[in-house]
């Protein structure tokens, strides 16, 4: 089998969780069009590049020495940089949408001034959660293809652990992205939760003595929590306004 076909096969296998989520959105009749889905997926995949850039220059900013070397490697160099990159790409996506796509990050009556205690629409938070979940899965596709290209033995492990993990963390980052303007503390909490979950998963994967099933359970339980937060759908409107599918 040629290298090109192998690459296509790796990408297809890595896309299984994405296909499953899209089918779920359609069956549940969520107002999430194919274009919206693909744009979110692309934004998540693009987040891999700033993450690699930050990780490459990590030693210059955070010299990892001494007993904290492993923790800084796991929680800062990997988990923090990847979640920051995901948050950055979602901010860029929302900005492009509001400036050039005739959409809005939130309806006009749900964009309170900074410091306001006005509650943000639960529907808008759900939309941010869904966009972040899809973006996380997009990140996992590209990252999984990169890993599997060098070691195909890790592909199935990443499909059933890393993909749900990135989807779960991405959902929390997506919710944070739509909340930062009006509720910065809640947004920061959601973002840090994503970093902690990501870091704990990485820690259990690489540390000897921890069974792999523990990392699997963390990834799947976090992803299940994100799915439960989206159940019931949301009112149409807000992020990426346009005709429902």
DSSP label of 119: P
Question: What's the pLDDT tens digit per position in 172-188?
Answer: 999 999 998 888 999 99
Average pLDDT of the residues of the chain:
79
Which residue spans within the chain are E strands per DSSP? none
CA separation (Å) from 173 to 56, 66, 87, 208? 22, 31, 6, 29
Mean pLDDT of 163-169: 93
Residues 31 and 27: their CA atoms lie apart, in Å, by: 11
- What's the pLDDT tens digit per position in 30-85? 888 888 899 999 999 999 999 999 988 776 455 555 557 778 888 988 999 999 99
Cα dihedral 110, 114, 119, 121, rounded to 10, equals 30
pLDDT, position 8: 73
Dihedral angle computed from the Cα positions of residues 230, 91, 245 and 111, in that order, rounded to the nearest 10 degrees: 80
What is the pLDDT, as a whole number, of residue 29? 85
CA distance 166 to 162: 6
Q: What is the pLDDT of residue 235?
A: 56
- On the question of pLDDT at 150 being above 50, the answer is yes
State pTM to two decimals.
0.83
Question: For residue 89, what pLDDT is reported?
Answer: 96
Band (137; pLDDT cuts 50, 70, 90): very high
177 versus 231: the higher-pLDDT residue is 177
pLDDT value for 158: 62
- pLDDT computed for residue 109 by the predictor: 34
Instruction: Give the pLDDT confidence score for residue 118 in this predicted structure.
Output: 46
The better pLDDT of the pair 140, 207 is held by 140
Digit-coded pLDDT (tens) for 198-228: 999 988 887 776 667 888 889 989 999 999 9
129, pLDDT greater than 90: yes
């Amino acid at each position: 089998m040629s290298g090109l076909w192998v690459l296509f096969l790796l990408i297809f296998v890595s896309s299984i969780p994405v296909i499953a989520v899209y089918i779920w959105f359609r069956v549940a009749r969520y107002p999430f069009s194919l274009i919206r889905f693909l744009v979110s997926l692309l934004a998540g995949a693009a987040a891999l590049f700033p993450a690699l850039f930050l990780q490459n220059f990590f030693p210059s900013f955070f010299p990892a020495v001494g007993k904290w070397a492993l923790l800084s490697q796991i929680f800062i160099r990997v988990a923090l940089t990847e979640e920051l990159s995901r948050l950055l790409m979602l901010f860029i996506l929302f900005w492009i949408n509001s400036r050039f796509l005739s959409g809005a990050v939130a309806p006009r009556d749900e964009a309170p001034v900074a410091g306001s205690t006005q509650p943000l629409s639960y529907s808008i938070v759900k939309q941010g959660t869904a966009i972040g979940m899809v973006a996380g899965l997009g990140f996992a596709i590209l990252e999984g293809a990169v890993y599997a290209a060098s070691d195909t033995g890790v592909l199935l492990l990443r499909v059933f652990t890393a993909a749900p993990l990135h989807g779960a963390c991405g959902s929390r980052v997506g919710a944070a992205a739509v909340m930062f303007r009006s509720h910065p503390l809640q947004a920061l909490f959601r973002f840090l939760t994503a970093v902690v979950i990501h870091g704990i998963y990485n820690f259990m994967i690489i540390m000897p003595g921890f069974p792999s099933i523990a990392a699997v359970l963390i990834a799947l339980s976090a992803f299940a929590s994100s799915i439960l937060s989206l159940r019931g759908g949301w009112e149409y409107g807000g992020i990426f306004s346009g005709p429902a599918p």
